[in-house]
Amino acid sequence: MKKLIIFSAIGFLAQLVDGSLGMGFGATSSSLLLMFGIAPAAASASIHMAEIATTAASGASHLWFKNVDKRILWKLTIPGAVSAFIGAAFLSSLPGDKIKPFISVFLIFLGLYILIRFLFFNHLPSKNQGSTFSSKFLTPLGIAGGFFDAVGGGGWGPITAPVLIARNGISPKKVIGTVDTSEFAIAVSATLGFILFLGVEQYQWQWVIAFMIGGVIAAPIAAWLVRIVPSYMLGVLVGGFIILTNSMTIIKTVALPVSLATLAYVLIIGLWTVAIIYQLKNRKRFIAVDQ
C-alpha cells in the first residue's frame, strides 16, 4: 500500500511536469522503474500502459483550455504512432539485463538535453514568423520521437516539443498542448506493440495503476498551470532528476566502490544545485513566451 501511495505521488508530480512542459512523464517514470530494478522493456511497457489514461486526461484538458494546434496534430501523430509500435517491437526483442545500462545512458543524455535546453535556450520569441509545418518536416520528427519514446520509456516530448518551439511558428503553450494531446496515440500504439511482442504478464500492474491515479489527477491542473507557471525552473528540476536517478542505475550496474559512488552522487547533486541557483538568479533573461 505504501508503494502504491508513493508511486501515485510520483505519477502526480511527473504528469504535473509533463503537462506543464510537454515532456518529462515517461523519462521520469522510466528512470524510477529502472532504478528499482525493473527490466527496460517491462518498464517502458508499464509506463506506456499508464500513459493511455494520463495522456487521454491531459489531451482532453489541453483541448478544453484551447492549447492545441490542430494544423499539425495529425501530421505529427500518425508517423509517431507507427514508429512507436516499431520501437516497442524492437525493445521487446532485446535482453533486459544487458540493455538496461544503455537505456539509462540514453535517459541521462535525455536529462542533459532537457537541463541544457531550459538553462540556455528557453528564451525563444513566440511571435509567429510565418513558419510552416509541412508533412516533410513533421513526419521524420514524429518517427524519431515515437521510436525513442518506446525504446527509452520516454522521449516524445523532449524530442518533438523543443524542435517545434524552435520553429517560431507556434506559441510554446500550443506546442505543449499539441505534443501532450498527440502522445495519447503514441502511448496506445506502443502499448499494443508491447502486448503483442512482450505479453501482458510482463506488466508491473501496481506501478501502472499508481501512475494512472496520480497522472489523471494532475492532468487538468497541469493544463491550467501551463498558462501561468514559467517553464524554466521546472525544466531544470526534471532534467536534473532524470540524470540523478539514471546515474544510480549505472553506478549499481558497474558496482562502483562506496567512496566513488558517494563522490559521483555529491558531484551530480552539487552541479544540479548550481544549475537551480543559476536559473533563479538569471530568471530575468527569459522573455514572455506564452503569448
In the predicted model, what is the mean pLDDT of the chain?
81
pLDDT value at position 127? 47
138-180: per-residue pLDDT in tens? 999 999 999 989 988 777 987 887 778 766 567 777 888 899 8
Tell me the CA distances in angstroms from 108 to 62, 126, 238, 249, 267, one per residue in order.
29, 29, 11, 10, 15
State which of 35-44, 116-125, 261-270 shows the largest mean pLDDT. 261-270
pTM of the full predicted structure? 0.76
Q: Which residues contact 8 (CB under 8 A, 6 or more apart)?
A: 210, 211, 213, 214
Q: Mean pLDDT, to the nearest integer, of 179-198?
A: 93
- In the predicted structure, residue 130 carries a pLDDT above the cut 50: no
What torsion do the CA atoms of 193, 28, 71, 131 make, to the nearest 10 degrees?
Answer: -130
- Nearest C-alpha neighbor of 11 from the set 212, 227, 246, 239: 212
Q: Mean pLDDT, to the nearest integer, of 195-205?
A: 84
Angle at 27 between CA 5 and CA 107, to 5 degrees: 135
- Comparing 38 with 78, the larger pLDDT belongs to 78
In this structure, are residues 18 and 51 in contact, taking their beta carbons and an 8 Å threshold?
Answer: no
